[in-house]
Chains A and B, each alone.
Chain A
Amino acid sequence: AQSVTQLDSQVPVFEEAPVELRCNYSSSVSVYLFWYVQYPNQGLQLLLKYLSGSTLVKGINGFEAEFNKSQTSFHLRKPSVHISDTAEYFCAVSDQGAQKLVFGQGTRLTINP
């Protein structure tokens, strides 16, 4: 079975600083990876996804992620964060390509002014 590990449960950063949220997945023949964001009292919103092709994936709100097969990682980055990026971020893998996502435990990103 697929699994995902988010290495940091909380990440505090200052506004306009860069941020990296780390995600490692269990290896598999085919890997489909996603990052979702959850704002307080809301559902999940897709930030970006890797299905195939270029290992650098660009998403919404200035986020990007790099798929690294040798490191089995899919870290999320943003060069300059804003207060509005305060939220919980979830890395997820599709279980064998099915419409069944396996999520990491989440990383709470806190932006300090």
Chain B
Amino acid sequence: KAGVTQTPRYLIKTRGQQVTLSCSPISGHRSVSWYQQTPGQGLQFLFEYFSETQRNKGNFPGRFSGRQFSNSRSEMNVSTLELGDSALYLCASSVGTAPFYEQYFGPGTRLTVT
């Protein structure tokens, strides 16, 4: 099976712009989670989608949003980019019922905001 894919892998944006990142889960996985990784804050949970519904949400401002499509592919959007949004954004897909699930991570999208 193909793994989790994320596009694009690298992105450079200017402060104030918006950006959309894409994640394609492993075939058959219906849950997709997003994480932000920065040197200062480490890995932080953004949100999780299951069957097109947001099921869990982390402590991020409303500028961060996401959605999931009927084929389980997910996108996250960050509006009005700030310098502090520069990070590696990781997507993970999973299968199984809580807590007996396993999250598989993609390679990430590295976003640089200038």
B101 closest partner in A (C-beta): A99
Chain A: minimal CB distance from B84 (Å): 18
Q: For B106, give its contact among A32, A43, A51, A94 (CB under 8 Å).
A: A43
Interface residues on B, range: 20 to 34
Chain B contact residues: helix, strand, loop or mixed = strand
Residues of A within 8 A of B103 (CB): 46, 99, 101
Chain A: minimal CB distance from B23 (Å): 11
- Count residues on chain A whose CB falls below 8 Å from chain B CBs: 25
Provided the pairs A51-B100, A99-B103 are in contact, do residues A43 and B90 lie with their beta carbons within 8 angstroms?
yes
| Interface residue A98 (Cβ < 8 Å from any Cβ of B) | yes
- Do B102 and A46 touch across chains, with their CB atoms under 8 A apart? yes
Chain A: minimal CB distance from B92 (Å): 8
22 contacts between A and B (CB under 8 A): A32-B99, A41-B107, A42-B108, A43-B105, A43-B108, A44-B92, A46-B102, A51-B99, A92-B43, A94-B98, A95-B56, A98-B56, A98-B98, A99-B50, A99-B103, A100-B45, A100-B48, A102-B45, A103-B35, A103-B42, A103-B44, A105-B42
Across the A-B interface, give the 6 residue pairs with the lowest CB-CB distance, nearest first: A97-B99, A43-B105, A103-B43, A44-B105, A32-B99, A100-B56
